[in-house]
Amino acid sequence: MGNSIAKVLRVSVVITLYAILIAAAVSCTSDKGTSEAESLIVYSGRSESLIAPLIADFEEVTGITVKVNYGSTGPLAATLLEEGKNTPADVFFAQDPGGLGAVEALLAELPSDILQSVPKWARDPESKWVGTSGRARVVVYNTDMLTEADLPDSIEDFAKPEWKGRIGWAPTNGSLHAMITAMRQEWGEDRTRDWLEGIVANEPKIYAKNTPTVAAAGSGEIEVGFVNHYYLHRFIAEEGESFAARNYYTRAADPGSVILVAGIGMFEESDNKETAERFIKFLLSASGQQYFSAQTYEFPLNDNAKPNSLLPAVEDITKPSIDLGDLIDLAGTQDLLREVGALP
């Protein structure tokens, strides 16, 4: 009887020691990695699935090792705020300017050659971040229930009662907030509030984010949804052309088809600013822009790359003329959304 106790104990002690040894080995190897001179630490709110091949290209071209901490833009920004000046990160590659704005105090000013390589509307007026690729706001619609001709010219018309029960949206989504901020710029507070009240009165179905909204438009759970344009192309890539939803870029030049960006900034405290700049320049170079255009179905931000044939040309989208720097008042938008009861 005593033997089996001893055995159990022995086994568990061995397992523990073994685990500790391996862990020590793992942490040692990772320490060696970080002490190299030519390496870069990226906090990325963009997913590995989307950008890992691009980062591998950069590593191959430059010989620089890139380590990436992937996460959601919101929690990553919260992490960066906790880390403050002690952050190990050199750059923050964010899904939207909101995340970059939240950590703006930690960011360094970017050199003008980087800033100049994108149009003025796609960069921070304070020069702390720069857009890397464009994405349009669109109305995704179910093709079994609607054709593009059934859709109104302006996003404003979806607030009319005839759309009651037919709409889906993700009221916590940062890109939606950016669109509403653009509405406040273009239309003013009252008109935007009217629109929001109209939408809320139409009892839209609420989704957690863009992906389930597009899925719901595809299945016919909703007829239209307010989303970013590129998710649809992911669905078509996975499910084939039969996926029953398409994007509609509003015909009227209104905030319904405003173009937003994913963006990047580098940290003031980074010891690696030159490498960081090389990385940012790479993203804005021909090969970087070509990658976004071809692989992630986004709009290139300069003439270095060919636009994706699946997408309309940026020039053809009737978009409002808004600088993203004008869209910094996200807090005001959140207040407005709370006021109409769309946000807690």
Distance of CA 61 to the CA centre of its chain: 26
Q: Does 211 bind other proteins (CB under 8 A)?
A: yes
Q: Which of 326, 88, 80 shows the shortest CA–CA distance to 185?
A: 326
Q: What are the residue ranges of helices labelled H in the chain?
A: 2-34, 48-62, 73-83, 97-102, 112-116, 174-187, 189-201, 210-219, 230-239, 273-284, 286-295, 330-339
Q: Which stretch binds other proteins (CB under 8 A): 9-17, 132-140, 151-159, 314-322?
A: 9-17
Q: Does 338 bind other proteins (CB under 8 A)?
A: yes
Q: Round to whole Å and give the CA distance between 172 and 209.
A: 7
Find out whether 74 and 92 touch, Cβ atoms under 8 Å: no
Q: Does 313 bind other proteins (CB under 8 A)?
A: no
> In the window 238-297, what residues touch other proteins (CB under 8 A)?
238-240
Q: Does 47 bind other proteins (CB under 8 A)?
A: yes
Q: Does 202 bind other proteins (CB under 8 A)?
A: no
Q: Round to whole Å and give the CA distance between 108 and 90.
A: 10
CB of 201 to other proteins, least distance (A): 18
Tokens of 259: 């173009």
Query: How far is CA 311 from each of CA 34, 187, 249, 314, 316, rounded to the nearest angstrom?
Result: 40, 28, 10, 8, 10
CB of 328 to other proteins, least distance (A): 13
Which residue among 14, 56, 105, 208 contacts other proteins (CB under 8 A)? 208
Give the CA dihedral 95, 101, 102, 105, nearest 10 degrees: 130
Q: Does 98 bind other proteins (CB under 8 A)?
A: yes
Residue placing its CB nearer to other proteins in the complex, 34 or 116: 34
Which residue among 91, 330, 336, 340 contacts other proteins (CB under 8 A)? 330
Q: Which stretch binds other proteins (CB under 8 A): 94-102, 131-139, 253-261, 269-277?
A: 94-102
How many beta carbons lie within 10 A of that of residue 113, not counting itself? 10
How many beta carbons lie within 10 A of that of residue 74, not counting itself? 17
How many chain residues touch other proteins (CB under 8 A)? 69
- Residues forming the site for other proteins (CB under 8 A): 1-2, 4-5, 8-9, 12, 15-16, 19, 22-23, 26-27, 30, 33, 41, 47-50, 67-72, 74-79, 81-84, 86, 88, 98-99, 102, 172, 174, 177, 205-208, 211-212, 214-216, 219-221, 231, 234-235, 237-240, 330, 334, 338, 343-344
